[in-house]
Amino acid sequence: MPTHIDRVDAKGPLHGGGNILIVDDNPQNLRLLITILSAEGHKVRPAPSGAIALESAFSTVPDLVLLDIMMPEMDGYAVCQQLKAHEETQSVPILFISALDNIDEKLKAFEMGGVDYITKPFQPKEIIARINTHLSLRNVQKRLEHEVAMRTASEKMLHELTQKYDLILSAAAEGILGIDKQCAYSFVNPAAAAMLGYEPSELTGSACAAIWHPEYEKRLPFFDDPTATVDMKPIPDCLTKGCSCSDCPVHSSLKQGDVVRQKEGRLWRKDGSSFDAEFVSSPIMVEGKVEGAVMVFSDITERKRMEKKLKQLAHEDALTGVSNRRAFLERAEEEINRTKRYGHPAAFLMMDIDHFKRINDSYGHHAGDEVLKSVSRVCLDALRINDLFGRIGGEEFAALLPETSNEQAKLAADRIRIAIETASCPVDGETILCTMSIGIAMVQPQNEKSTRLEELMKAADDALYTAKSDGRNCVRVAST
């Protein structure tokens, strides 16, 4: 979290390029990555060894680290471990780059704290796309941390200056409303008036409960004539003569001297629209007696939008829109535990597009991306609504089929295989066809080994390799 909130760049690391540290003992790889990333506007710092990388990272914290695994003296895992142990660098995203392509190495990379794994030889467009995705995530994270720091600072300022609210009125960006003992506005700062769509003079002296009353959103219970239009409905006494409802935040502050914090609520504007808000209602105490209350609020619509976007970025594959590796494996782990608990069978599928490199080489990476999106849609259509599906990496996908026997799993996998084989993907006037090989491993609740996710993935991956060896475009089941 930043120590000086006024110095945080709200536009984040993507504004003007990111600060990227590349760690690789191969000079040729360093030169290639420097050329690729510099052309995209990123500031690149090379480090030919783990020790130099740590010194560089601790000296100037990067926005992102590209980290090779196989290096002399200190390998990439050791470098990652030290970066994650250091407070200033523990949140920096680390993307492993390696020629190692087995599942154990990939799992270890993610267990050590890596956010992605790129296999050599890599494609420049893939490197750029993955880096930009993780820099975007880092950007959103920094903006959220910045907002939290600002709100914490604002609450502290309000606590210290409760008796000097005239100064706060002219300085604060948050909405600040003063309320007297009769539940009418005693002061309104410009930010509050602007967010609520009023002139300050329109609010001062008027009853205030209508803006945040917890029952106001329901509306109908307040009105004598439920058939009347909204414009015809009278304002109830509760909103004109002061609120006496026990669950109203201002009532709690005025009558009981409580400080009420609501992280997510709704406030209502003059035009009848509403917005997501966070607010704090505090009593104004004079010589031990409650003489009024003050409400401080913020419009959190943008924050909620960013949180939703962050959640989406964290759980969805940026290209295909299906679950990404992390999200799929988390959900698969939960489903396997449920399967084990209730003793029901399930099937784990590893799926790989056959000769995908040929598609990229023949039609270009844009066409390859379209094929990946097309295959994702076909797989989703062929699966049941309760089946889990995600992109594991590159052209590899996985699925977990709950309540599925061995025979049912083979039928489902063959249904997917045939659907892929018969589907076509039109790209720029060309029709691209592809096939898929599938490996199946069964989740057997009575077999402890088969209920461990890493064992399931390995077994399904071995079966997938067998399908590839047997000529591709086929389904093979791991031996139990």
Catalytic residues: 395
Residue position matching structure tokens 């002139």: 199
Per-residue 3-state assignment (H helix, E strand, C coil) for the chain: CCCCHHHCCCCCCCCCCCEEEEECCCHHHHHHHHHHHHHCCCEEEEECCHHHHHHHHHHCCCCEEEEECCCCCCCHHHHHHHHHHCCCCCCCCEEEEECCCCHHHHHHHHHCCCCEEEECCCCHHHHHHHHHHHHHHHHHHHHHHHHHHHHHHHHHHHHHCHHHHHHHHHHCCCEEEEECCCCEEEEECHHHHHHHCCCHHHHCCCECHHHCCCCCCCCHHHCCCCCCCCCCCCCCHHHHCCCCCCCCHHHHHHHHCCCEEEEEEEEECCCCCEEEEEEEEEEEEECCEEEEEEEEEEECHHHHHHHHHHHHHHHECCCCCCECHHHHHHHHHHHHHHHHHHCCCEEEEEEEECCHHHHHHHHCHHHHHHHHHHHHHHHHHHCCCCCEEEEEECCEEEEEEECCCHHHHHHHHHHHHHHHHHCCEEECCEEECCCEEEEEEEECCCCHHHHCHHHHHHHHHHHHHHHHHCCCCCEEECCC
